[in-house]
Amino acid sequence: MSEHYCPNCEEKSFTWSIDEEVSLNTVWNCSLCGFQAEENESLESVCESCGTKNNIHLKSSAHNFCYCTHCKKQTKSGEW
């Protein structure tokens, strides 16, 4: 599994996992800062900044946001 840059600490330590017994959403976790968020894969979209389809919709305990795993840009996201 490849590591991505964490939207919280910006280190390359952000990985995903799926446990269908716990949640139907993909769970992302940072092994360095402990940041955790759920991804709704049905909402994946094209990043407005870089044009790649790497814009994932995340829900953390603090807020909902979109995060591009390619260019690392964060934008606000609505409820899902």
Q: What is the pLDDT of residues 28-37, one digit of tens each?
A: 999 999 999 9
- Residue 67 pLDDT exceeds 80: yes
The predicted structure's pLDDT at residue 1: 66
Give the tokens for residue 40: 């709704």
CA distances for 54 relative to 19, 34, 35, 47, angstroms: 22, 22, 19, 7
**Average pLDDT score over residue span 61-65:** 93
- Residue 79 pLDDT exceeds 80: no
3-class DSSP state of 5:
strand
